[in-house]
Amino acid sequence: MDMTPGASLGPYRILRPLGSGGMGAVYLAWDERLERRVALKLLTHTAGDDAVRHVRHEARAVARLTHANIAALYDTAEHNGVSFLVMEYVDGEPLSHLARSQPVSVAQALDIGIQLTDALSYAHGEGIIHRDVKPANVMLTRDGKVKVLDLGLARVTSSDPAAPTQSLSDAVVAPRAGTPAYMAPERLGGQPADARTDVYSVGVLLFELLTGTRPFLSSDFVSLAVSIATQPTPHVSGIRPDLPAALDDLIARAMAKEAATRVATAAELRDGLVSVRDELTNPRPAPIPDTAHDWWRLTLTAAAIGALALISWFVFRPVPGAVTPATIALAPIVSAMSDDPELDELGVLLGSVLSRNLAALPGVTIVVPDLAQDGSPGSKTAPTAGPSPPRAYSVTLTIRRKGSAVVAAGALIRQGESRPIWDQEFEGEALGVLRFATTNLATAFERDLALGRVLTGEQRTRLQRLPTGDAQALVSYLRGRVVLDTATNRAADDEAAAAYARAIQRDAAFAEAHAGLAQVFLLTQRHAPGESGWRDKAKEAAAKAVALDTLSDLAHVACALVARELTQKDDALVHARRAVILNPSGDDGHRVLGLALIDAGQADLGFAALRQAVSLRPGHWANAYALGIAQLRGGRTREAVDPLRRTLELRKDFQAGYVNLGVAYLRLDEWALSVGNSQRALDLEPRDAYALNNLGTAYYWDGRFTLALQSFQAAVREEPNAIRHMNLGDAYHRLGRMADAKQAYLDAVDLAEKQLAKTYSAGTAAVAAKCEAKLGRIDIAETHALAALAADKDNDEVVYKLAVVYAIAGRLGMSLDHLERAVGLGYSRALVRRDPDLQALRNDPRFKALVQQKNQ
C-alpha cells in the first residue's frame, strides 16, 4: 500500500517515503501524540495474514532489545487493515554513503566496527541474528554514533541448542533473505544463518569502508555467488598497503569461506578490533636489551660474522614473494594532434591497459602524477605525500600520426634521476602500439626492480594482456568511441552501435566493446524515450563487459553509468570507485565517480573528482560539461559559467551546453545573455522543451510576460510536466488571466501527483507545494513542502519553495528564515529580488539585506 504525504495511520502523519525494506515500504512520519519523528514500516499482506502475524510476533522479540547502537522498535500496530511497525527514526546517513565516497581512515573504520560488533554481540546474546548486515542498514549519526537498522529480517533463535531454528519470518522473506554481496557462502548455498553469518557480513562491510569497493563484484546473483564460492578471499592490504597487518588478518578471518575457520562470534571480532585500536593508540615500547646478560654477544669472532653473513645470504636472498615496493606515476597518454579524435581514444584505451597490466607487478601501486594546468605531467614524477616509498617511477607516453601509421614514444624515469631507464619509439598500427607499450614497459620495470625471480606465470600473463588481439576489432572499437562521444540523435547512436557490433563480431571477448555498447544503449534510451528495453540491453551489455574482464576500468565505468540510470546509487559508487582504483589516471572513471558521489549527497568529494577528470583530460568536452552541470545544480552558479563556456569552445554545436549556460546567466541576473544562449539552443533544436522553458523563464524574470507566456505554451505543447505548467500558471497570473492561471496550477498538481505516485522526488513535491499554495490550499501545500524538505533538506529549490508557501500563507518570519537558508545553499538572489510571490516581504529589513548582496 502506498501512502501519500499528509495521510494518517492512527496517530502517525506520513511525511515522506524513506524507501522499502524486506517486508514493505518505510515512511518518515510524525507521532502526533508524543510529537516526535518515527519510521513506519508497512507490512505487506502478499504472504498472507499468518505470515504478518508471525512477523509481528517476531517484532515483539526484537522490541526487547535495548542497546545504544540498535535503532529501537517502539510498537506494532494496525490501522484500517494496514499492519505496520513503529521504529526509532535515526537522523544521519547510512554507511553506504560513507563507504562509497572514499576509503575511510583506519581509526574511523575501527570505531564503526567496534560499535557495530558490540550491538550484534548483544543481539546474538538475546538469540537474534540480523541476517542482512550491510552499509545501507547501518546509520551513522552526526555525532558519530552507529545505529543498526532493519532487524525485521532478524532470525529469532531459541536459547535451547536442541530446539528448531526455523525463523518465524521465513514465511515472509525468501530462504536466502539478505543482500547477496554481503552474504556468507553458506547462506548463498541455502544453509541456515547463525552468528558467524553476521560476522562474515561485518567483514565485507569493513573491507568496503577501508577500500571503497566490495571484495567481490558482479552484476547478477549467479556470477556473484560463483565468485564468492570459488575465488580466493581478497585482503584489504591488496588495495590498501598501509593497513595494519593485524587488522588485515582479522578482516580476512571474518570473511573466511568456511564457517568453521571464521571468527566465531561478534564478541570475538569486537575484541580483535579493540586490540588493534589499542595497539595503534598506545603502541608497546620496543624491548630494551639487557646488556648485563648480553655481553657475550659482542665477542663474536670474524669467522662467526662471516658465517652469519653467509647464512643471511641464503635466508634473505630474493625468493618468490620478496619484492621491493614501488609507485608508478602513470601520466595520461597524450596525443600530439588535437584534431584526431581516434588517436585520443587510442590514448584512453592505452592508459587503461597500462594501468591494469602494471598493477600486476608485485608491490607496485599505480598513482596519478602531479599535473600542470593544461593536464600535462608537472615537474614531479610521483606524489610525495606520506612516507616516500623505496622506489618511485614516472611513465610518459605520447602518440601521433605519421601517414597511416601511429608513432608512440615512451619513457620510464626513476624519481630523482634525469636519465630514463627506458626511452623508445615505435611506429606501426594501433594494435602494435598497445603491444609495444605493454611489453617494453613491463620488461623495463621487471629488470629494474629485479622481479625476474619472483613473478608468477599468472603475473607475467597479466603484464602482457591486451583488450583484443584483432587489429580490425580495435579499429572498429575506436570508431565507436569517437561517434559515441558526440552522439546527439538516434542515427549517431545506430552508427556507434554498429561499430561496436563489428568489433564484438570479430572478438566476442572484447570487454571494452561490450562496455561501449552499454553506453550506446543508454543514449538511445534518451534519444528514443518512447521505446522500451534499452536500459535492459545496457545493463546486459555492461554485465557482459565486467564478466569478460573484471579488471577493465572501462567496463566498470559502463556498469556505473547503467546503475546511475537505474538510480541504483550504491552500485554506481561501487563500480565508479573500482574504475578509479583500476586506472587512477583515467578521466572516465573520475567523471562518473564525481557524478555518483553527487547523486549520493557527497557534493564536495564529487566536485573534487570532476575537477580531477578535467585535469587529467582537459581537452575533453564531457569533463568540462559534467563539472559545469554539477556546479550549476549544486548552487555554485558563478563557478559553473567557465566550465560551461569551455564546453562550448570544445564542442560548438552542443545544444545542451547552450541550454544550461542560459540557465546559469538567468540565475546571475544577466537576462540578455540568458536569452541569447537559450535562443542559440533553439536554433540548433527548435522544438526542445527545455530550451523553450528556459527562454520563457528569462523573459518572465525580465518582466516580458507576453513573450514568457508564448515560450511556456510552446514548451507545454512539446513536453508537458509539472514545472512547465507551474511556469505557465505564473505567466497567466502576471497577465491577469486568473482562470487560465488556476487551470495551469491544477494541471501542474495533477502531473506532480502522478509522478510522485511512481517515484518520490523532493523537487516534484516542492512544485506541487507551490501550486497548492497558489490555489489557496495552504495545509496541503505545507504538507508537501515539509515532506520535500525532509527528503532533501539541502536542496535550494526545495527550501525556496517552502519559503514561497509561507510567504503566500502570510507567515512572513518563517518565510524569511527559509529564504535566507535557500540563498545560503546557492539560490539566486536575483530571482528572490524579482519574485512577485514575495511581495509581502519587500519592506522587511531582512529581505532588503538579503537581496542587496551579490549574486551567487
Q: Give the integer Cα–Cα distance in Å for 707 and 701.
A: 11
The single-letter code of the amino acid at 213 is: T
- Percent composition of the chain: helix, strand, coil (DSSP 3-state, to 5): 55, 10, 30
Contact present, 91 and 74 (Cβ < 8 Å):
no
Q: Give the integer Cα–Cα distance in Å for 149 and 69.
A: 9
Give strand ranges (E) for 176-243. none
Q: Give SS3 for 173.
A: coil
The single-letter code of the amino acid at 33 is: R
Q: Give the integer Cα–Cα distance in Å for 14 and 27.
A: 7
Q: Give the integer Cα–Cα distance in Å for 642 and 649.
A: 10
Active site residue 132: yes
Q: Give the integer Cα–Cα distance in Å for 775 and 41.
A: 33
Quick count: other Cβ atoms within 10 Å of Cβ 660? 23
Contact present, 328 and 288 (Cβ < 8 Å):
no
DSSP string, 385-433: SSSPPSEEEEEEEEEEEETTEEEEEEEEEETT-SS-SEEEEEEE-HHHH
Selection from 623, 595, 619 nearest residue 607 by Cα: 595
Which candidate in 111, 118, 132, 493 is catalytic?
132
Q: Give the integer Cα–Cα distance in Å for 432 and 469.
A: 10
* Consecutive H or E run containing 473: helix 471-485
Return the DSSP state at 839: G
Could you identify the residue written with the cell 603502541?
Answer: 283
* Consecutive H or E run containing 146: strand 146-148
Contact present, 13 and 29 (Cβ < 8 Å):
yes
Backbone angles phi, psi at 249, to 5 degrees: -65, -40
Contact present, 342 and 479 (Cβ < 8 Å):
yes
Q: Give the integer Cα–Cα distance in Å for 803 and 38.
A: 25
Selection from 106, 201, 113, 214 nearest residue 581 by Cα: 214
Contact present, 131 and 197 (Cβ < 8 Å):
yes
- What is each CA distance from 680 to 526, 683, 713, 716, 724, in whole angstroms? 22, 5, 19, 20, 20
Edge-to-edge order in the sheet of strand 92-94: 92-94, 138-141, 146-148
Provide the grid cell at 468.
583484443
Q: Is the dihedral of CA 334, 338, 339, 341 positive or negative?
A: positive
Could you identify the residue written with the cell 634525469?
Answer: 418
Contact present, 53 and 95 (Cβ < 8 Å):
no
Contact present, 557 and 188 (Cβ < 8 Å):
no
DSSP string, 668-719: TT-HHHHHHHHHHHHHH-TT-HHHHHHHHHHHHHTT-HHHHHHHHHHHHHHS
Rg (CA), the chain: 30
Diameter of the chain measured on Cα atoms: 109
Q: Give SS3 for 796.
A: helix
Q: Give the integer Cα–Cα distance in Å for 189 and 175.
A: 10
Residues annotated catalytic, as ranges: 132
